[in-house]
Structure 1
Amino acid sequence: MQMFKNRYLSAVMVAFMLLLSACSSSGTTSEKKPADKEKAAEPPQEVILATTTSTQDSGLLDELIPVFEEKYNVEVKTIAVGTGQALEMGTKGEADVLLVHAPEAEQAVVDAGDAVNRKRVMYNDFIVVGPTSDPAGIKGVPTKEAFKKLAESKAVFVSRGDDSGTHKKELGIWKSISATPGGDNYVESGQGMGPTLQIASEKQGYTLTDRATYLAQEKNLQDFGIIVEGDPDLQNIYHVMQVNPEKHDKVNANGGEQFVEFMVDSKTQDMIEEFGKEEYGQSLFFKYTE
């Protein structure tokens, strides 16, 4: 009987040891990590875009930026200011890429070595807008003649006064007719195109604007319309360019180059030309391909 008990206890001990071994083995297996565990997604790189207010106010960037971000896994920080300020950011290395519309000023930045890879992206045109009553009597006349009449009349003219591409264009027109703007009827808003249009509308004055921003804001303007348009001198050309990484070593060179190539890609160009057609019945910008 004693022998039976000893054998029974021995068998129980063996079974218990086997159970512990099995549990230990099972626990080890469950803790093993899969060899091919998927790597965590890389965080998006940041690209700083300095651009003119017209690309923002028109809504164009709202269409293009998400496509670019998804394609290249980037996060774009858009700083919409006047072209002069955008170019200045480039000369200081405070942006990675520029989208602007003041060709002469742009070329100066390139010549100084602060920007590279400059490419023409798109164009639209400038227009003179003002009260539908047209107190200065300039409707339909050529641009220079219209500005001469504005200089002679007491009609209000609202200037952006912010060193933007539009402001530079306006000053160029005044210079071409040997006129110096000023006086009580010359108002400088110091703001972007959207607010400047609002001020012009409220004061029933004239202003120079890009067509895209005007069409986007038209529904908010009272007794206001296009007065002068279609003049070849009023073409409005946009370029994109990288801030030179060899001169400004803190810029995102790869992201800047990707944005330049994205903007001139045929698919993006088609998106640019289609933008605005459904809502406004016409393109707000026209693509440019060499």
Structure 2
Amino acid sequence: MAQRWVATGPSSFELEPWQAPPPAPGEVTIDVRAAGVNPADVKHPQRASSFPVPVGYEVAGVVSAVGTDAPFSVGEEVLAFRVSGGWASAVTVPARDVFAKPATLSFPQAANLLLAGCTAAEMLHVVGAAAGETVLVHGASGAVGVSVLQQAAELGVQVVGTASPGRFDVVRRYGGSPVAHGDGLRSRLAPWAVAAALDCVGTEEAVSTSLALVADRSRIVTIAAAPRAEADGFRAIAGAMPASQAYRDAVRPALVALAAAGRLEVPVARTFPLADAPAAIDLIRSGHPGGKLALVP
């Protein structure tokens, strides 16, 4: 039986029977082989005004039906972002949000490429990161941080990234220089002339260090500390903001092309059967998933 997960409340989820509707013109139906699991999937139902709410923003799978005017064929391997209700056996989505799956990526990797990748791309874009500069990334070993590291290398930008010592190898693997967060962070950053700061974690330490090191507040961006950004005059971005959505939608083809060329990797820590989504949710909520997670119907 086809199924999908929905949020039945701000922090409650339920697996329900589900049949994806047939594709209308300009749409395709995808048999889901993997669905990405992101913090946003768990957090966004907390803002909903009514329930149930479909869960899941990105998937990878195989096209099973094609509406008229959709440039895909049944049997093609694809990924899709941004979708609604991706934690499912199948989804029907606009073809404009569907891309050929790079052969370099497994289905779980492809299902985790674009949400983190588009966020990372926008962070680098809004601070104007340029070749030859050094940027500071708070949370460099996380999903968005790892994509920032790889995309910065493409731009010729050096990254110094905060991480726990146990994750230093991840930062180094993707070309960054790791530093431990915690007491004395500012002094450990002294050897670098930091031109911009990208905050993926939203801690007081991340914000205060960024403000201390980067005088031009237009070159500080956060995805996790919007109230501080408003109070202190630096930039906060989020996928629901019109400017962020427009940029992220526009950059998707370039990121897919980078992955297809083998220049953008997606580390996946674990996969879970679709029915085991609560275990994936618990791991995301722990704040230490160790990499990307995917649900596999």
TM-score by length of structure 2 reads 0.31
Structure number with greater CO (CA < 8 Å, separation at least 6) is 1
Query: Which is richer in helix?
Result: 1
Which structure would you say has the larger Rg? 1
Superposition TM-score, scaled by structure 1 size: 0.31
More strand by share: 2
